[in-house]
Structure 1
């Protein structure tokens, strides 16, 4: 009986140590979007390896399908638009892709303002 209790305690401790995925970054894109392609070339390969990418994993949605997937604060007009989403509801957004030197600080600020993101690697 003690072994079962110890095993349950170890499992509960291990599960508690796992980060909860509460937020995700939804990239709204469309075919032929040159700024989407630029983001893909400059940011996409490394995004999952960053603190931001681990905190808010990326999900891609076509502009025509976004309203079906996310409860939006307002209509998405530009691509790419990056929606910070929690439980399929939009918390904040970045419209457009101004280049890597602007994207990272904008993303960091957005994450810090509306989530418990600290910028530390998990």
Structure 2
């Protein structure tokens, strides 16, 4: 948990899988147009911060032979106001928007991310107490 405390102090988001390892739902998975993505969700755990966002890092699981995995990162607003692209990687904005629409529609993701956000904040309060 020392690494988590360090990230909280530095204002760095913390991955759900880092706080709750070895769970069946550590990461999200998404199949989209023949590509498989692994999605890590991270959250701000600063108790003084009022943000309600999840940072979602999408990594294509099976890259082409001899190539690095393609990835992109978005800031997903948990209040229902959409998302903002933080890192685009090799993906076009329109492709990211299409992937996000598919991800949200398939998984009704907003409620689940909000629940994980609350779990993370509760755990942060335990750690900091």
Higher strand share: 2
Q: TM-score range by the shorter chain?
A: under 0.3
Higher helix share: 1
* Structure exhibiting the larger radius of gyration computed from Cα positions: 1
TM-score by length of 2: 0.26
